[in-house]
Amino acid sequence: MADSDAKHLPEEEASPENHMRDWGLLRDIPFRLTVEVGRARMRVRDLLNLEVGSLVPTDKLSGEPMDISLDGEVFARAEIIIIKDKLWSRLTKVVGGDR
């Protein structure tokens, strides 16, 4: 639609309520959301020596933001917090897209 056509749209078609109603069709589509705590490179011999209680150092520093990916594409950064013995991720920045 050309910009000149947008001026002629009825008021109700451009309302935020209509945009939210459009999302209704997409709300039940499943996707994979991943919070990446860090990455590590290991040799096979080190991997084979892992056991319960082993520590695996990652490339992330304490307090560094974690990546949140949607179907493999990073879309946000987050900090990890603990609430009632569960890990949560609090979004600190939305990256990519039009934000």
Q: Is the pTM of this model over 0.85?
A: no
Which residue, chain included where needed, has tokens 């078609």?
13
Question: How far apart are the C-alpha atoms of 38 and 98, rounded to whole Å?
Answer: 26
Domains belonging to the chain, first-starting first, are: 31-99 (2.30.330.10)
Kindly tell me if the per-residue pLDDT of 5 is higher than 50. no
From CA 67, how far away is CA 80, in angstroms rounded?
Answer: 10
pLDDT over 90 at 42, yes or no:
yes
45-97: per-residue pLDDT in tens?
999 999 999 999 888 888 889 999 988 889 999 998 889 999 899 999 998 65
CB 74 within 8 A of CB 95: yes
